Structure formats: C-alpha cells, structure tokens
Amino acid sequence: MRKTWLPFVAGVLLILAGSLLAHTIQTSGGITVADVRFAGDKGTTLSALVYTPSGATAANPAPAVLLSHGYINTREMQSAFAIELARRGFVVLSIDQSGHGYSTGIVGSNDFGGPAALRYLKSLPQVDKANIGLEGHSLGGGPVVGAAASDPAGYKSVVLEGSTPAIGAVFGGQSKVELRNLAIVFGGYDEFAQLMWQVEKGSDIAKSKALQALLRTSAPVVEGQVYGDIGAGTARVLHNPAITHPWEHFSVAGVAPAIDWFQQTLDGEANPLPPTQQIWIWKEVGTLVGFAGLVVLMLGAFQLLLAAPWFSGLAQPAQPAAETKGRRWWLAFVLTTVIPAATFFPLMKVGQLFFPLPVFPQWITNQLLVWALVNAVITLVLGLVLKAAKPAFRTDWLRSAAIAVATVGVGYASLALVDALWAVDYRFWVLGLKPLDGLHLTYALAYLPLWTLFFLVALRALHTNLAVKGEGKGQYVAAALAMCLGFVVLEAIQYASLFATGVLAMAEPLNTIIGIQFVPLLAIVGVIAVFTYRRTNSYVPGALICALFITWYVVSGTATHWSPDFQLPIPGRG
C-alpha cells in the first residue's frame, strides 16, 4: 500500500516545494502580485499581472514599466523582468497581448492591446504617471509601439528585446512613432536577425542600415554608446550580448540591460540595485519543480485510481509480443525517432494551409496537428510494411476514458490551486502550462479529438514495436528516447550551426524555437505511455491521458488568430 501512494505523495510534495519557492521569489521584499482583467479596445478584455513593490502607494507613487511577451507566449514569460524591476521599486504591468493568454481578440488586434494597457497602467493609483517605461520582447514590440503611438508624451523610455519598431507589421500593425529613449537589446545569436534587422547574423546588427537610420548614424553602431540625449528623450543605445532569441528574456545578459536602462531613464525607484544582481532564476527553478511534480502526481493518481474497485478491472500486467531487441526492434526505434523530427519543418509549412477557423482558431495548433496527423498516417503505413507481431492489447474504452479524465483532472486541480494561492503556474523557459479559462476550454474540446487520434496511433505503435517481454525500467528510457531523441538531434544541428556560423542550419527560426518544447514534452509522453501500459496491458489509457495533457498544454499557451473579421495573411508578410 505504501508503494501505491508513494508517487502521489511525491508529486504533492514537489508541487508544494516548487510553488512555494516560486511564490517566495516573486514576492521577495514585500512585492504583491495581482491577477487583473481590464477593458481593452472595441469590446475586448485584456489580462495582466500587476507587481507592486512594498511602499508604492497613492501617497507615494512609484515609477512603472509595461511589459509585453512575444508571439505564442503569455504574461508569465516576462517574469524575469517583472521580478527584477519590482525588486528595485518599479510597479510592473505584465500583459497578455491581444489573442494570447487570457486576453481576448486576435493576434495584432487593437495595436496588440498596447494602448489600452498603457491607459490601465496610468490609472493605477500607486503609479507615478511621469515615470513610465515600456518593454517588449520579440512581437512584444507591437504593443509597445502601439502604446507609445497612442500617448507619445505618456512614457519616458523603451526597451525592445529581440525586436524592432517595425515588428507589428508582421501581423498587420500600422502604428509608427518616434520612440523616446530607446534601448535595443538584440542577441548576437538571435535566430530572427534577417526578419528583424535585415542582417544575416545577430552579431551583425551594428551594421544594419535600419538600425543606423534609427540611431541617426551612417557608421556601424557602437555597442553600449548612448546616441542622443536622455533628457531630451532622444537617446538610443544598442546592446548585443552573445545570446539567442529565447535567451533574451531568460538570461542575466538579456535582463540586465533593460534594468540598467530603466534605472537610468526613470526616476524614483526605491531600491536601486546593480543590474546583474538577479534572483528570478529561482522562481523558474520552483515552477520547473512544480512541473515535474505535476507529472509525478498524475502518474501517482493513475496508480491510486487503478486500485479503486471500478477501475481495478483495467489492471493487468503488460504482455509484449517481442522476445528480444533484435534488428527489427532497432529499425523501429530509429524510424520512431527520425520520422517525426525529419517531417517537422516541412509539415509545419504545409500546416499553414490549415487556416484559422471558428472551431479551430489557433493557427500554430493547426500546424502542429497537420504534423501530428500526417505522422499518424505514416505510422499506420509503416505498421503494414514492417508486420510486427501483434501484442494482445486489452481495450476497455469506457473505463480508460474515465481514468484518463480523472488522472488529468487531478493534475489540473493542482495547477488551479497553486495559481489561486500563489499566482504561479508550471513552467521553465519556453515550457509553460497554464489553467484554461472558459474560452480556451472550448478550443480544447474542439482540438481534443484530433490529438486523441494521433496519440492512439502513436502509442499503439510504440508498444507494438518497442515493448519487450521481461524488460525492466529500461523500457521507460527507451520509450522516452524514441519519442524525443529525433528532436534532440534536430535542435542540436540547428544550434550547433547557429553557434558556429551565426545562422541556423535550416532557416526555420520560429519552428526551431517551438521545437525546443518537443524534447521535454515527448519524453514525458514516453514515460506516461510506459507507466500506464505496464499496469493495464493497453495503449488506450496512456493515449487518452497524453491527448488531454498535450491539448491542454498547447491550447493554453498558443495564440488565437480567428475572429469574425479575420483576414487571410498576405503572402510574404511572415
């Protein structure tokens, strides 16, 4: 009985420890974090987190900074900036830009939500309206430019991280403005150098004609040199640290220049600190521990439920067909590993034809599903060709569906609880899992059948081809590697080329960054698949759990592109 409870208890302890650590870091020094909703333009609603430092009140207002994340991210992605600025005495409003997170509308609508966010920030009584800064990472430059254009005298300085003042045009933004006191932080290994600044490499940004025009110089820009005058609002400065695009909001080197610029250009922070004195990484460690705890908790919940009277009928030891790991096993392992990664970039391109629709409004999710479903077809065809011995799978659809819903439900309840108690979720770097609001729940229900088809095919093939009689814990390692190793190699090829030459081996910057998430997620899928199969002799419970989990993950963190006035994108716009 003790062993039956052990994973569940371990999951609870990991979640508590990680979430408390994350909460402690983001509230250090008396900072409060509030989850807010406020009116956007044209009937939309915007979501944000407000970080208020100790001592910032209506009687003693503090300088403030508006933060915006990039494409297919959410407000939590800017927590490194939020934590460090709030520690130094700045009020921070970290928004979900339009069509992201809990903000309604679609990507790019209403200047990405920037003007409404700036109005809301200035309405807060604890904010010094004469000392406001704006910061955006990547597509987060869209809300920043929109906010600045809506109120040219309503802020004092701007930081664009891995971005450009023209970035909003990618999704139809029209706002243009002469930005006041602008700092550009652009990684020397930024994957989007060509799109953002029309140079081959991020390390070449000093030679960018667009940047030179922005800084009003005809010579290569000198990194760290302030062009213009802060007092007059005309200052410009470039920082070009040796980091990638997703490291710009997840490294000391990316965060420090923003802190330094706001401490230079805004007055009144209560607790000035050296820019490199940063603690935010421990919040990320905490939420990573929470994410690991979620996986352990769900496995523990599944094990406990399987011991309950009604679900006990599912319990049966696995009965693989294969006797040994012969040549056919290794062939199946290689194909399972290679094909999904090899088809990822081409099928994501094909998936762009799965345009946003009322029922399927998330364009990136649509592309991912094209990749997944085509791989399911390939898997079925290969199954006919390879002709493996068929295991005696046991299928009980009703109880399998019920235990899957209950298992993921326990995990979801844990996230809802820590979000309500401590305003944290489960995440690390580009990996992030959020609770679903009502709107995103409807999206999830629409996408769930398609993800379910994929996982039923994929996990049936996994156990048919790779499960071996009498295999011990090594089965977990084999399954996790089979699911994710191809993406490990793909990402290694891309980033080895980037760090060696300054450019990716294949010109797929967005999908390369998206692909980073596949490594941990597919490894988790492999572990869940084996854990459930070994206890039920069925691929169905694991497939349904993975479908629910991945649908939840993708839908909660991916942008909405469809609305009644949605227009198809212009070819070549990006």
How does residue 572 score in pLDDT terms, banded at 50, 70 and 90? very low
Please, are residues 135 and 81 in contact by the beta-carbon 8 Å criterion? Answer: yes
What is the rounded (10 degree) CA torsion for 165, 166, 168, 174? 110
Q: pLDDT, tens digit, for every residue of 20-60? A: 999 999 999 999 999 999 999 999 999 999 999 999 999 99
Q: How confident is the model over 259-282, as a mean pLDDT? A: 97
Q: pLDDT, tens digit, for every residue of 305-355? A: 999 999 999 999 999 888 888 888 999 999 999 999 999 999 999 999 999
Please tell me the distance from the alpha carbon of residue 317 to that of residue 312, in angstroms, as a whole number.
12
Q: Is the pLDDT of residue 550 over 60?
A: yes
Please tell me the distance from the alpha carbon of residue 75 to that of residue 50, in angstroms, as a whole number.
10
Q: What is the pLDDT of residue 386?
A: 77
Q: What is the pLDDT of residue 569?
A: 47
Q: Is 212 helix (H, G, I), strand (E, B) or coil?
A: helix
Please, are residues 83 and 424 in contact by the beta-carbon 8 Å criterion? Answer: no
Please tell me the distance from the alpha carbon of residue 310 to that of residue 485, in angstroms, as a whole number.
37
Unique residue bearing structure tokens 């609770």? 435
Please tell me the distance from the alpha carbon of residue 231 to that of residue 228, in angstroms, as a whole number.
9
Tokens found for residue 399: 């109880």
Please, are residues 244 and 52 in contact by the beta-carbon 8 Å criterion? Answer: no
Q: Is 429 helix (H, G, I), strand (E, B) or coil?
A: coil
Q: How confident is the model over 211-229, as a mean pLDDT? A: 95
How does residue 565 score in pLDDT terms, banded at 50, 70 and 90? low
Closest CA to 408 of 283, 238, 277, 294: 294
Q: pLDDT, tens digit, for every residue of 141-184? A: 999 999 999 999 999 999 999 999 999 888 877 788 999 999 99
Q: How confident is the model over 464-492, as a mean pLDDT? A: 94
Q: What is the pLDDT of residue 165?
A: 96
Mean pLDDT in the chain? 95
Closest CA to 272 of 284, 282, 262: 262
Q: Is the pLDDT of residue 499 over 70?
A: yes
- 3-class SS letters over 363-389: HHHHHHHHHHHHHHHHHHHHHHHHCCC
% pLDDT > 70, the chain: 98
Q: Is 206 helix (H, G, I), strand (E, B) or coil?
A: helix
Lowest mean pLDDT among 196-200, 280-284, 321-325, 435-439: 321-325
Tokens found for residue 431: 């990996």
- 3-class SS letters over 112-153: HCHHHHHHHHHHCCCEEEEEEEEEEEHHHHHHHHHHHHHCCC
Please, are residues 365 and 372 in contact by the beta-carbon 8 Å criterion? Answer: no
How does residue 12 score in pLDDT terms, banded at 50, 70 and 90? very high
Tokens found for residue 347: 């099928």
Please tell me the distance from the alpha carbon of residue 329 to that of residue 241, in angstroms, as a whole number.
46
Tokens found for residue 510: 């967005």
Please, are residues 557 and 73 in contact by the beta-carbon 8 Å criterion? Answer: yes
Q: Is 234 helix (H, G, I), strand (E, B) or coil?
A: coil
Please, are residues 18 and 288 in contact by the beta-carbon 8 Å criterion? Answer: yes
Q: pLDDT, tens digit, for every residue of 364-398? A: 999 999 999 999 999 999 988 877 678 889 899 99
How does residue 567 score in pLDDT terms, banded at 50, 70 and 90? low
Please tell me the distance from the alpha carbon of residue 217 to that of residue 574, in angstroms, as a whole number.
28
Tokens found for residue 348: 């994501």
Q: How confident is the model over 502-531, as a mean pLDDT? A: 97
How far, in Å, are 289, 298, 299, 408 from residue 412 at the CA level?
16, 9, 13, 6
Q: What is the pLDDT of residue 323?
A: 82
Q: Which domains does the chain have, with CATH numbers?
A: 31-279 (3.40.50.1820), 283-557 (no CATH)
Helix (H) or strand (E) holding 326: none
Q: What is the pLDDT of residue 242?
A: 98
Q: How confident is the model over 126-135, as a mean pLDDT? A: 98
Closest CA to 88 of 262, 326, 348: 262
Query: What size, in residues, is the chain?
Result: 574
Closest CA to 44 of 98, 114, 119: 98
Tokens found for residue 51: 């970080």
Please, are residues 95 and 86 in contact by the beta-carbon 8 Å criterion? Answer: no
CA angle 39, 41, 44 (to 5 degrees): 60
Closest CA to 427 of 143, 139, 101: 101
The amino acid that residue 66 corresponds to is: L
The b/e string for 55-85 (b: 16+ C-beta within 10 A; e otherwise) is ebeeeebbbbbbbbbbbbbbbbbbbbbbbbb
Please tell me the distance from the alpha carbon of residue 27 to that of residue 574, in angstroms, as a whole number.
39
Tokens found for residue 16: 């508590």
How far, in Å, are 83, 103, 119, 132 from residue 39 at the CA level?
25, 10, 10, 20
Closest CA to 340 of 312, 291, 379, 311: 379
Backbone φ/ψ region at 572: left (φ over 0), alpha (ψ -120 to 50), beta: left
